[in-house]
Amino acid sequence: MSCARFFITPRELWASVGAADAPCIIDVRRHEVYRQSDDMLPASMWRDPQDVAVWSRGLERSAPLVVACKSGHELSQTVAATLREQGFAASVLQDGYAGWAAAELPMVSKGARQRLVPQTPSLWVTRRHPKIDRIACPWLIRRFIDPQARFLFVDSPLVEAVARETGAIAFDIEGVALSHEGERCSFDTMLKAFALESEPSLARLALIVRGADTARHDLAPEAAGLHAISLGLSARAGDDDHGLLRTGFIVYDALFAWARFAVNERHNWPVQAA
């Protein structure tokens, strides 16, 4: 039996996006509406509302779900009700895409998503032994673009060959679209590509990543700390690049949460009375 609330507001949903326990967001706008749109909700996947019985088989039953249509009316409510009847913890995005837009919350460029990530789960490839940019970028992809994304790590000279062999998307190497641009790192490039660069907390995080990744610790006070933590995690990980991703994601989850919810909080001694 589902105990999830039937409705979730756009701001409540946005507060959960970018975290490890974020709900699975299912876009059920009618195909014609979806086809003509320019944007998608972060980390969302489009599914045909007429085929719930088919695609619901692939959903994680223990994970919370949020169903979004154009306005939060009969389409998303029908799908959510069907999922709830099947035992899923499904909620409806209140007022749907219209409510999200009215709240001026960030969306992902659908054109970039379809061009750069033509299928999901997406497959990505980069150099072995990630430290900063090559952990920050997978974190961004998993949290905002494709929660089911997979990552391959290979020797640097072989990245493009492996990309051709497997159909993977190469990133953070010279000569590919998703890499450094001038003084900006690959994380900056991805934010720009998916139209997320203006989101304030991601922009703050990007400055920290850029400072740590390009040895410009003057860009943000936190850059030196991220640099030290990243090198320490890498030293402990050895060749376990995927284990390093799992650990590194905790760091980026925490940094993003700080940038959103705690950036003005101060810690001092002695403790000041509340």
Query: What digits encode the pLDDT tens for the residues 46-103?
Result: 999 999 999 999 999 889 999 999 999 999 999 999 999 999 999 999 999 999 999 9
Confidence of residue 270 (pLDDT cuts 50, 70, 90): confident
Q: How far is CA 184 from CA 7, 71, 192, 209, in A?
A: 40, 38, 11, 10
Report how far residue 255's alpha carbon sits from residue 257's, in angstroms, rounded to the nearest whole number: 5
Angle at which helices 133-140 and 200-213 pack, to 10 degrees? 160
- Please give the Cα distance from 169 to 124 (Å, whole number): 4
Same domain? For 130 and 235 the reply is yes
Q: Answer yes or no: do 140 and 17 share one domain.
A: no
Is residue 25 domain-shared with residue 98, that is, in the same domain? yes
- Looking at the fold, whether 173 and 205 belong to one and the same domain comes out as yes
Which helix (H) or strand (E) element contains residue 26? strand 24-27
DSSP secondary structure code for residue 270 in this structure = S
CA–CA distance, 40 with 82 (Å, rounded to integer): 23
Query: pLDDT above 90 covers what percent of the chain?
Result: 92
> Is there a domain that residue 272 lies in?
no
Over range 141-166, report the average pLDDT: 97
Contacts of 211 (CB under 8 A, 6+ apart): 217, 218, 219, 220, 222, 223, 224, 226, 227
Same domain, 137 and 234: yes
215 lies in the same domain as 115: yes
* CB-based contact 187:135 (threshold 8 Å): no
Is 2 a domain residue?
A: no
Look at residue 271 in the predicted model and tell me its pLDDT: 76
C-alpha–C-alpha distance, residues 37 and 33, integer Å: 6
| Cα separation values, 205 from 60, 214, 251, Å | 30, 14, 11
pLDDT at 36 over 70: yes
Do 123 and 78 belong together in one domain? no
Asked if 212 and 241 sit in the same domain, the reply is yes
Q: What is the pLDDT of residue 274?
A: 55
- Residue 268 within a domain: no
**Which pLDDT belongs to residue 2?**
54
Say yes or no: 97 and 140 in one domain. no
Residue after which a domain boundary falls, among 105, 134, 161? 105
pLDDT at residue 268, as a whole number = 84
Domain that holds residue 79: 7-105
**pLDDT, position 99:** 98
How many structural domains are present in the chain? Answer: 2
Model confidence at 160, in pLDDT bands (50, 70, 90)?
Answer: very high
| Residue 1 belongs to a domain | no
- Domain end marker among 105, 137, 154: 105
- pLDDT over 80 at 189, yes or no: yes
Which of 84, 105, 126 is the last residue in one of the domains?
105
User: Which residue(s) pair with 49 in the sheet?
Assistant: none
**Is 274 inside any structural domain?**
no
For the ranges 1-10, 16-25, 27-36, which has the lowest average pLDDT?
A: 1-10
Whether residues 127 and 247 share a domain: the answer is: yes
- Tell me what the mean pLDDT of segment 201-222 comes to: 97
Work out the pLDDT band at 1, boundaries 50, 70, 90. very low
Same domain, 121 and 248: yes
Residues 85 and 200 in one domain: no
